[in-house]
Structure 1
């Protein structure tokens, strides 16, 4: 059953095309994850579906009686709103009253316990969770969620996964939590350069299907280029060597020439940057920190090693960001000391961006750190680094206030890296960073010559980059676990039967690396196929000449027409073989070079 249709929607902001004639059908039971590089229009698409923004062209059509509920990326609240009354406002339970019990249950699951608290007194993360609760109470037939996994801890994420898996309606969401996408979605929609690509799968399946799509596009482009080269040679031969040029063939050449090849997907590129780190790094000795009666950190001692990859986890408000600020020197501990080596240069990617709403231009924001930076591939200018981070030359002169939230986050990350740190402290780096940027950041951290300390609720990210976990536990104690987040979970639940991977100690089998080569018959065909094609073209030209001479003799003309069609069929088959053989010849040559 069709719930809604997006039909031929286009949207332009200034000189930037966000959507270019996109269409999408959404059916009952669809749970859709929307992916794309920050700034490609993910949040805009959600707003268009929710009716908060109008497309420049096209329309969004809902089935009769379909209700929607929308969670914005940055929710706004009425002045003086209280938590519970805001969540239940306009909602009804089965008896027609306010669903107070359901609201309290959901708020509690999301870590909100003071139901009469003024929303204005809450932190940014708490406000987002209150807005999420309002969206989930008495849910509509279509849930539209923009970053529902930001500002929720791992237990909350598991609860939300279960809730959305049990939800019977349609889900359309933007999230960068890849485990969450894997476990909740059954369809992925990717936005890339104004176009939509739909994959009937969760995140893992999407990765495989996208690779197949890109391989097919490249194969099609190789074929187009091969045919184009043949047609170009044909055109260059000229009328003297060719006889009468065939209009259809010239038309095909022009069409091939004007076709666009597959555009390279937008992607962030990073090069390894950093400065030398000496033997002495950062030492934490008996660190304690409390606010009032709440003990956040109690007697924590650890000497950070030169190649440490640390993940810091714990519930919201437990003190993770406080620990990061103590390590960076932004906050003094109540007791204990932090000893920092002389060569330590910290890059701190804070949970909240610094003030990025002014009129300063993007290029100047980065140049304030450095005009040039040394990378593994040589010296690179601020402008070139910005291009690698998908800030085009025209965007580089845009004021910061005009950037989207995700673009600001990406720019802030670049600023941190431009300072060439040897200790990277990442406080919730997955908030508002798109998956493409996260994957490149993860690859970058693999080759980063220094220390990485990451606070994150993103289980996938921690599994990918962390080699040791510190978990905040009761009373401000930090407990050390070896491995990534999944290893931490297994260590915490020894009583549960471990799902051990079957380790069949088979010899690793590798296919024989057989070199590509022509068969005997393919080689003979390759040597003569250009001549065969030319002979067929000459025969077609001769038949066309005879058709002109016998245009009034209908019987003869019918025979000649049939003969021409047969020759053209043979020519098409030869052309297909020419493309195959030339593509094979190119791969053989590349293999031998």
Structure 2
């Protein structure tokens, strides 16, 4: 455990409606990378504000190490509209001073390279202002970073860059990080611990989001009667973590049996053949066909030569940088944008439902009460073989009963998003388009939405920078690159590799590393030596486990009055446990070094048997090792077909 940075004792914070923190005691030490999760409104941002010193609790205290430098990114936009981008990021420092620092150059390239350096903050979009604010914070020197929704308005490339930057910003066991984000991939990639804020308490868990899901399932199984619905949802989430994209946990090898026991009887997340059959029955064979389509605005070509045949029941994620034309492509599919070249054909039975970012549908009913809106909808909706009323479905989406009397315009952003999702589902479209559905939605709500979509029979098209959501609810991904649409069988990782190659080609050089601060990995010989040590440790732990079980059986059969023998056996058992704990620590240390070595930046190739070229760390194609995340496993792969090692 690293040195103490910050602590809180007996925190109590109460708002007029309820208490969000009740006698909370916690601490942050050097080397901690903590993700904070919980439902919207449960107090995540309030907790960060109290720890950062911007919110005063009614009771309790926060203590800090002398001289602690704390950097805070809040959700509020406090930048001066008249200030230039350059001054906001760099301040008054002369160019010769900051331009020679690789870390600052990397931050500028990762977040604000596409923004006019001399533009005023008032002339920028909300997303650009957010990136400038984040860059300005990261340029500073901090012992502890507190980040509230740092991934908002970032595209998947910037999110990947930010994960790499935070992973390598400090040396191991130095610095501290507290982050609130709904991006579950980001939590797994960066965080080594998770705090769940709920019911006035803060509950700690080891590992990133995947480890937190497993631990929460175990906790919920103990209280099965009270938490039956949440338990089933988490078990289904865990099943996807095993069968879908690779799971990441902090102690993977030693949790496999528990995970397998939990999900042994869980069916696949979706039955694609059945959903396909139902989709064909509802849609017919023709959905939407784009033939050699192009779109231009004011003489600028946004999309070109797009040919895409969208079939019934397809679940597709569309990837692309901000401004790549994703919303224009969705408009072509929905019929709200007309092509300037080519043809778009839609099947006669197609009914498109759109979840947009602007809450456009809710604007028309802003003065209506929620219960009045529900009274005008269908009387039931079928989920997992059960008929739910709109009010029951809204409750499943996280609405409290008392909110039914509120006017739509009085709802919070998260509540309006829930109502928007409900109205979309009740319309029974057979093609659903989700345009950045994660905005204003917490992780629990995203899990519920994913669960509802699992049994929805129709064509689904998702545009999102949340790679966890994209990989979770879609079966294939396409990317917009240079105005053209390209199938990416390797998903988000392949898209990021293509983008890196695209930038490298434009710059006339090789693809850049994930961050300038990334350390070189070990040599191939060192990797093989560490793999050998790792396997030897695994064999020793297996022998210890067998010997421990045998000793426990001996103790159970021993004469209880033979105190001397029992004391000797207890001492042997304690020694075995101590050796096992030491071996686990050595194994995990080797795992982390191997994880870095598998993508050694110095070689540019996989250090495993395949020897394939790689992209930047964390963005490798399928078939290469598992990446650079702190919580990604090394050793026997427990979650499905083994990748190259």
Structures share fold, TM-score greater than 0.5: yes
The within-5 A match list for 1:87-236 is 87-89=89-91, 105-111=106-112, 112-168=114-170, 169-217=175-223
Q: 1:374 aligns with which of 369, 374, 381?
A: 381
Q: Do the aligned partners of 1:99 and 1:138 also contact (CA within 8 Å) in 2?
A: no
Equivalent residue number for residue 309 of structure 2: 303
TM-superposed deviation, 1:348 = 0.8
Equivalent residue number for residue 403 of structure 2: 395
CA 1:381/1:445 → structure 2, altered by over 3 Å: closer, same or farther? closer
SS in 2 for 1:276: helix
CA 1:102/1:372 → structure 2, altered by over 3 Å: closer, same or farther? same
Equivalent residue number for residue 394 of structure 2: 386
Equivalent residue number for residue 336 of structure 1: 342
SS in 2 for 1:284: strand
Equivalent residue number for residue 500 of structure 1: none
Moved more, 10-19 or 387-396: 10-19
List per-residue Cα deviations over 1:529-562 (Å, max 9, x = no partner). xxxxxxxxxxxxxxxxxxxxxxxxxxxxxxxxxx
**Whole-angstrom CA distance in 2 between matches of 1:119 and 1:104:** 20
Is 1:446 the counterpart of 2:454? The answer is yes
TM-superposed deviation, 1:5 = 1.5
The within-5 A match list for 1:568-579 is none
**How many residues are paired up?**
453
CA 1:472/1:262 → structure 2, altered by over 3 Å: closer, same or farther? closer
TM-superposed deviation, 1:364 = 4.9
Equivalent residue number for residue 72 of structure 2: 70
**Whole-angstrom CA distance in 1 between matches of 2:475 and 2:444:** 22
Q: Do the aligned partners of 2:319 and 2:495 also contact (CA within 8 Å) in 1?
A: no
**Whole-angstrom CA distance in 2 between matches of 1:7 and 1:292:** 60
TM-superposed deviation, 1:306 = 0.3
Q: Do the aligned partners of 2:38 and 2:198 also contact (CA within 8 Å) in 1?
A: yes
CA 1:490/1:121 → structure 2, altered by over 3 Å: closer, same or farther? closer
**Whole-angstrom CA distance in 1 between matches of 2:183 and 2:103:** 26
SS in 1 for 2:318: strand
SS in 2 for 1:24: strand
Equivalent residue number for residue 352 of structure 2: 346
Equivalent residue number for residue 471 of structure 2: 463
List per-residue Cα deviations over 1:227-252 (Å, max 9, x = no partner). xxxxxxxxxxxxxxxxxxxxxxxxxx
* Uncovered stretches (5+) of structure 1, i.e. residues with no partner: 222-260, 497-593
CA 1:460/1:483 → structure 2, altered by over 3 Å: closer, same or farther? same
CA 1:262/1:388 → structure 2, altered by over 3 Å: closer, same or farther? closer
Equivalent residue number for residue 15 of structure 1: 17
List per-residue Cα deviations over 1:350-403 (Å, max 9, x = no partner). 134338689636615843862533324565433222222221111222344554
The within-5 A match list for 1:46-85 is 46-85=48-87
Q: TM-score, normalised to structure 1's length?
A: 0.68
CA 1:353/1:129 → structure 2, altered by over 3 Å: closer, same or farther? farther
**Structure whose alpha-carbon radius of gyration is higher:** 1
**Whole-angstrom CA distance in 1 between matches of 2:58 and 2:406:** 23
List per-residue Cα deviations over 1:245-294 (Å, max 9, x = no partner). xxxxxxxxxxxxxxxx7898699999x99993333312222221123454
Moved more, 111-120 or 30-39: 111-120
Q: Do the aligned partners of 2:99 and 2:105 also contact (CA within 8 Å) in 1?
A: no
CA 1:134/1:491 → structure 2, altered by over 3 Å: closer, same or farther? closer
Q: TM-score, normalised to structure 2's length?
A: 0.63
Is 1:429 the counterpart of 2:437? The answer is yes
List per-residue Cα deviations over 1:97-121 (Å, max 9, x = no partner). 8999865642331143311112222
Q: Do the aligned partners of 2:220 and 2:230 also contact (CA within 8 Å) in 1?
A: no
* Uncovered stretches (5+) of structure 2, i.e. residues with no partner: 237-274, 502-509, 512-645
Equivalent residue number for residue 367 of structure 2: 360
Q: 2:294 aligns with which of 276, 281, 288?
A: 288
List per-residue Cα deviations over 1:77-132 (Å, max 9, x = no partner). 3232221212234889997x899986564233114331111222222222211111
TM-superposed deviation, 1:482 = 3.4
Q: Do the aligned partners of 1:37 and 1:267 also contact (CA within 8 Å) in 2?
A: no
List per-residue Cα deviations over 1:295-341 (Å, max 9, x = no partner). 22102122210011111111111111111122212222222332222
Moved more, 177-186 or 49-58: 49-58
Equivalent residue number for residue 515 of structure 2: none
CA-atom RMSD in angstroms: 3.7
